[in-house]
Amino acid sequence: MSRYKPYFFVFTLICSLTGYGPLKADGIRYPWRAAPVIVLQGGQFDILFDNEEPVAIDSIRLEGPYYQARVAVDHIDKGNHLFDSYTKASVNTRIRAGVPRGTPEDLYDLVIFTGPKSHRSVRSVKVILEYKKQHRFIHISDPHVSRQWVGSQENGYAKELELFDKFVDIANIIAPDFIIMTGDLIHDYTRLSADSLGWGGILHTRPDQKPSAEEKFRNYFEGAKGFKGVSGLISPTFSIPGNHDFYGMDAGDFAAKSGQWNRLCGKRTFGMSYGDTRVLFLDDYLGDPVIDVPDRAPLSGLQGDVLRRFMETEGPGKITILAQHRPDRIDTAFCNRHGIRLVLNGHNHKPFRELVGKVPTLSIRPGSISRSGSVSEWEKVLGFFRVFTVEDGNYTFTEALRIVNNPVADYASLEPNMLLTFQAPNDGSQSRNVARLDNRFPSAFKDCGARFVMKKGKYTVEGAQIKQVIASGDYSVVDVKFDIGAGEVRQISIRSVN
């Protein structure tokens, strides 16, 4: 037996560095990172939890910045619960949980307490009062977070976060019901000390070279050095893999890449319902027995089975949307069979749209949200997103909108094309305040949002409609909603009526 120990040590080391292998992570795997959940007040949702400790679950909570709620546990199923049919990634506990009625609308952390330990899934549960008849989502793609690294390899950050940080500010004003990211969240290599065009420098590709895969995904999800990542968004953000979403392994090792995604992001293939809208999320690159042969249709194998089962369970809805990474690997037979009207994708960084299949299906991409390596052609590819509006099974969308006019400028010079400023500190110290909204986009937006954090009391608002008030300790948190026209500057004032 001793002659196998060196091999086992090396294999274990590789697993720990790449995030792939038999070393199971202890914690929440759904809702988590790539796949959050949207749930109604008083509604229920499933939790996939790997409880490695021989300790019972004490309690489950939703924790927001201004409100906490204890989750009701309907039942707990012990066993082997798969969440990836290809890699066989699984957890040992499935929990059916309920959101208490009266829980304010917000995006919450999910926290499970087991004895002395707590397990947190950051910004993973969106509680809503109702499904809106007219709802909106933002489509973004290809941030390539960590392709370029600023500072030391041990204590730096992904340069792509600089522009993404400004997108977060804009998206939080537009306040869509959800956000869809169609792949290439991170990059499969890192350039340290790159030149002004994002090339050259020191190239890192090996699993023992920092930043690690874990650090790369942490930058994307959590941000770094004061720059906001996905967790800075107030809308639940659904993310799928692209061809660059792995690190420290061979590009042809599909099992390893998919396993790393499971370990660090959670689900690869899943569905989501928002009222009568169905959204299908797939992995058209990292791994599937069919995708090991690149020319085969992505949904003729296990992933297609997962998505078909989802649609059978949820019902057809009024519109079905498919989200994948590559526009040249659309399974038109699947789209035709299931009446898919819209395919969101990325991979190519220029905004584009075309009709495919017999439905017909609109294939559309927004361009790249923040890739640092396209500096030389930034006017065509950098800093774009689209806003979609869905109502009664029909959809409309904006042209590709640019976050800032010059996305390659220094961070201090990046001025968003939608800006929210407050006249006084918005920190709970004031009994009156004024917010100024400046929309420089050529598009109008409905149901935008702003949050006032005020001294405890009752308030009246001019220039917007009060959506909800959260009583939180010494604060009154007043969420407002408003419409804003193209090129409009709007002022919203709030004052105490105590």
- The tens digit of pLDDT for each residue in 237-284 reads 999 999 999 999 999 899 999 999 999 999 999 999 999 999 999 998
> What per-residue confidence (pLDDT) applies to 9?
34
- Summarised one tens digit per residue, pLDDT across range 76-125 is 999 999 999 999 999 999 999 999 999 999 999 999 999 889 999 999 99
How many Cα atoms sit within 13 Å of 377 on the Cβ side? 8
Q: 456 near 474, Cβ under 8 Å?
A: yes
Q: In what order do the strands lie in the sheet with 432-439?
A: 418-422, 432-439, 489-496, 459-462
- Domain residue limits, the chain: 2-128, 134-413, 418-496
Class of domain 2-128: mainly beta
What is the Cα–Cα distance from 35 to 282, expressed in whole angstroms?
A: 12
Third-level CATH fold of 134-413: Purple Acid Phosphatase; chain A, domain 2 (3.60.21)
Q: 384 near 367, Cβ under 8 Å?
A: yes
> What per-residue confidence (pLDDT) applies to 98?
98
Contacts of 366 (CB under 8 A, 6+ apart): 139, 140, 141, 346, 351, 384, 385, 386, 400
Would you give per-residue pLDDT tens digits along the chain (498 residues)?
Answer: 333 233 233 333 444 444 444 334 469 999 999 999 999 999 999 999 999 877 899 999 999 999 999 999 999 999 999 999 999 999 999 999 999 999 999 999 999 999 889 999 999 999 999 999 999 999 999 999 999 999 999 999 999 999 999 999 999 999 999 999 999 999 999 999 999 889 999 999 999 999 999 999 999 999 999 999 999 999 999 999 999 999 999 998 999 999 999 999 999 999 999 999 999 999 988 877 555 555 567 788 899 999 999 999 999 899 999 999 999 989 999 999 999 999 999 999 999 999 999 999 999 999 999 877 778 889 999 999 999 999 999 999 999 999 999 999 999 999 999 999 999 999 999 999 999 999 999 999 999 999 999 999 999 999 999 999 999 989 999 999 999 999 999 999 999 997
Q: Please tell me if the domain spanning 2-128 has the same topology as the one spanning 418-496.
A: yes
> What per-residue confidence (pLDDT) applies to 289?
57
What is the Cα–Cα distance from 391 to 304, expressed in whole angstroms?
A: 27
What is the Cα–Cα distance from 248 to 190, expressed in whole angstroms?
A: 11
pTM for this prediction: 0.94
What is the Cα–Cα distance from 368 to 376, expressed in whole angstroms?
A: 14
Residue 321's SS3 state is strand
Architecture of domain 418-496 in this structure:
Sandwich (2.60)
> What per-residue confidence (pLDDT) applies to 293?
53
> What per-residue confidence (pLDDT) applies to 297?
72
